[in-house]
């Protein structure tokens, strides 16, 4: 592996540069132009990528644990299988990960508050305990993703694909789930207070002990297709008719 520990590339123009399998631990890449750079399996542990341009970069399998990605542009970047656990991506409006490929990426405990993840591919990604407050996941693919204990308060999940996603005890208060596909999702103990569920697909979803008080645009018909409503917190307008028509769900 090429050793470039503590290398200073601040503000450098590294357009389409080749850093495949390069050791860039603690490297200073602040403000660097890494557009379409080859960083396949590069070691960027605790590297400073603040304000870096990583648009279209190949970061498949890269080690970005603890990296500082504040205000970095990751639009259309390929982060498939990358490890971003404990990485820092917050900054103003949040990190730009529009159309990024984060399939099966490790994003445990990552700070993605206000991040733009529109149309991002997060299929099978591990987002356990990640901070996703006010993040934009509109049209994103979160199929089979691990979202246990994540903070998705006020997140925009309109049209997101959450089929089979694990949202165990996730905070989805005031989240926008209009048109989201939650088929077969695990929402055990999830907090959905004041969440907008208009036309959301809840077929086969596990809502045991979930909190749906004051959920917006929820219909009784949506609840008939869920896996269970055992110990689910529901407003009276949903609780009574649901128990009458589908007592087995309780």
pLDDT tens across 129-157, in order? 999 999 999 999 999 999 999 999 999 99
CATH code: domain of residue 112: 2.160.20.80
Instruction: Give the CA angle between residues 127, 225, 222 to the nearest 5°.
Output: 85
* Residue finishing a domain among 116, 143, 159: 116
Q: Which domain holds residue 27?
A: 1-116
Q: Is the pTM of this model over 0.85?
A: yes
pLDDT of residue 90: 67
pLDDT in tens, 180-233: 999 999 999 999 999 999 999 999 999 999 999 999 999 999 999 999 999 999
Total number of domains in the chain: 2
Instruction: Give pLDDT, residue 128.
Output: 95
Judgement on whether residues 46 and 76 belong to the same structural domain of the protein: yes
On whether both 9 and 104 belong to a single domain, the answer is: yes
Nearest 5°: the CA angle 172, 129, 195 is 0
31 and 144: one domain?
no
Q: Which of 116, 149, 170 is the last residue of a domain?
A: 116
Average pLDDT estimate for 15-26: 96
In this structure, are 139 and 250 located in the same domain? yes
Query: Which residues have C-beta within 8 Å of that of residue 79, sequence separation ≥ 6?
Result: 59, 60, 62, 100, 101, 102, 105
> 139 and 111 in one domain?
no
> Do 160 and 206 belong together in one domain?
yes
Q: Are residues 137 and 245 in the same domain?
A: yes
3-class state of residue 91 by DSSP: coil
């Amino acid at each position: 592996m090429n050793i470039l520990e503590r290398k200073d590339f601040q503000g450098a123009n590294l357009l389409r540069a080749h850093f495949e399998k390069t050791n860039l631990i603690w490297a200073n890449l602040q403000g660097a132009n890494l557009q379409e750079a080859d960083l396949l399996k590069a070691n960027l542990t605790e590297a400073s990528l603040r304000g870096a341009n990583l648009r279209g970069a190949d970061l498949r399998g890269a080690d970005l644990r603890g990296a500082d990605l504040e205000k970095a542009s990751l639009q259309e970047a390929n982060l498939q299988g990358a490890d971003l656990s404990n990485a820092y991506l917050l900054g103003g409006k949040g990190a730009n990960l529009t159309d990024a490929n984060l399939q099966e990426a490790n994003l445990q405990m990552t700070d993605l508050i206000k991040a733009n993840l529109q149309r991002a591919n997060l299929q099978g990604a591990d987002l356990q305990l990640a901070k996703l407050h006010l993040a934009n996941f509109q049209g994103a693919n979160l199929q089979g993703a691990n979202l246990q204990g994540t903070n998705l308060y006020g997140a925009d999940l309109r049209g997101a694909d959450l089929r089979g996603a694990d949202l165990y005890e996730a905070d989805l208060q005031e989240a926008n789930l209009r048109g989201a596909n939650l088929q077969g999702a695990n929402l055990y103990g999830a907090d959905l207070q004041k969440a907008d569920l208009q036309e959301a697909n809840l077929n086969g979803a596990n809502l045991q002990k979930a909190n749906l008080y004051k959920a917006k645009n929820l219909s009784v018909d949506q609840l008939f297709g869920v896996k269970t409503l055992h110990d689910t917190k529901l407003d009276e307008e949903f609780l009574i008719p649901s128990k009458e028509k589908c007592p087995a769900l309780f």
